[in-house]
Amino acid sequence: MRKLKNSELGRKSIDQYRNSEKLPLIIVLDNVRSQGNVGSVFRTADAFLVEAVYLCGITATPPHREIQKTALGATESVSWKYFRTTSEAVEELRLQGSEIIGVEQAEGSTPLDMIRVDKKKRYALVFGHEINGVAQEIIDQCDHVIEIPQFGTKHSFNIAVSAGIVLWEISKNLTPLLGCARSFPSPGGEGLEKS
């Protein structure tokens, strides 16, 4: 087995990226304080062809040196928008027809490995503050809450790690090359379908 050279990776140019079909998915950062985490989320969003990143509240916005350290230019390829509050972002996403999914440890949450998504729908994934998580008022506005199963003593991941894990699982179901389509029930239904 031979490690591939950068020239063999088939990387898109920024223009090619912008013109590529995106996952019907927006990442919402609810008051994320670490600029390094923000940059890492941009880089992960780029890797999975996410439609956009919404930055809310105290979440820093590009251009910023600390964001750029981990984003490695992904703030140039991935669309982003700033909102004064996360509630304003959620309201806009609802008007666009997105289902809002909080990523949080909560009563009634669905384990990540049991979610079902539908390629015909649009989704927004809300990731929260490094200490406080997704604010309860935002959890109250979510259609679903998903949780990454954990088995150790900490029961917490860095937000950038959480974003990578969740985006991989979601993209397997939204991208034809990675997996088959599945579906959430309609908002107001009986909760997430289980596999």
- C-alpha 93/C-alpha 41 separation (Å) is 19
pLDDT in tens, 28-75: 999 999 999 999 999 999 999 999 999 999 999 998 889 998 998 889
| Structural domains present in the chain | 16-174 (3.40.1280.10)
Strand extents, DSSP E, 31-71 = 50-56
pLDDT at residue 12 in the model: 87
- C-alpha 38/C-alpha 130 separation (Å) is 11
Listing from the earlier edge strand, what are the strands of the sheet with 144-147? 79-83, 50-56, 23-30, 122-128, 98-103, 144-147, 110-111
Tokens 């406080």, residue located: 132
pLDDT in tens, 79-98: 999 999 999 999 999 999 99
Q: Which residue has the higher pLDDT, 185 or 68?
A: 68
Strand 122-128 relative to strand 23-30, pairing: parallel
